[in-house]
Structure 1
């Protein structure tokens, strides 16, 4: 049975864009959405952006050149769209300091009830993206490296640092 990526590439070469798009949408919509939620930390905005990403992807699909897997191309577009949305949100999110309420001290959850996604969301942006792609979306090191335009060794280093940071966070939460 042919791999979905190979099947999609064949459909693209045959200029059967509707079918290729449907296969990619069926296969990757949930993963693109999860990546958007992890990066944006806003479920509603992630839904909107996922739709925008697939609309943009549909528009550029005829220009696919075959240098990378279609899914890698899609995830790169999705990542860039999320980063653009984050940059735009930073510019909109300004208010005087006296209007910002003091954060309430909340009792952390016990270690056994930790939501790993919450901990991942506390990682630096690059590490969060790499962990999301590698562990939560089951992408290979090579795919993550291609999608983020980074060497595989750098991806490995970020994964190592991420695991260490997550372990520290779990220990901190457990000791409180």
Structure 2
């Protein structure tokens, strides 16, 4: 068995679960998984060992997902659209308009965030990635991830409140 085959067998399931949490779409997660391991095979020489192999593969997956979101530019594909969810109750037409406007303001606020605030916020809020894992992706401390997430939230609240 080749070394890369062992890597695939060891990490394909956990990386797939990460991508599924990120995309919330099985087909997209499967497509991205293939892209992750293709890119990893092409660039295995760039793996420096400063993080775990799992973290490196997830970083490749996160970048592939963000690239796909930008490429498609379909807001339904990216979970940023789901920031403000519609309440379970029936909404009046006026409430629906207000809800749409709120979603638009939140989407714009998230998109205006600079890096790494945008990535940290999206990964933690929508992909349910733990702050500890985000810290590993960025090769930073968990405290850095917590502070970055908190600041991103505050920036969004401030922007939406204007």
Q: Cα–Cα, structure 1 residues 154 and 66, in superposed 2: closer, same or farther, change >3 Å? A: closer
**Gaps in structure 2 of 5+ consecutive residues:** 75-84, 90-106, 111-117, 158-162
User: Structure 1 residue 74 and structure 2 residue 57: aligned?
Assistant: yes
Q: How does 1:28-39 map to 2 (within 5 A)?
A: 28-35=15-22, 37-38=23-24
Q: Secondary structure at the match of 1:108?
A: coil
What corresponds to 1:10 in structure 2? none
Q: TM-score normalised to the size of structure 1?
A: 0.50
What corresponds to 1:130 in structure 2? 124
Superposed displacement of residue 63, structure 1:
4.7
CA distance in 2, matches of 1:47, 1:72: 18
Whether the 8 Å contact between 1:131 and 1:159 is mirrored in structure 2 is no
What corresponds to 1:48 in structure 2? 31
CA distance in 1, matches of 2:46, 2:144: 30
- Single out whichever of 47-56 and 148-157 deviates more from structure 2: 148-157
Aligned pairs, number:
122
**Gaps in structure 1 of 5+ consecutive residues:** 1-14, 94-105, 111-121, 169-176
Q: TM-score normalised to the size of structure 2?
A: 0.54
CA RMSD of aligned residues (A): 3.9
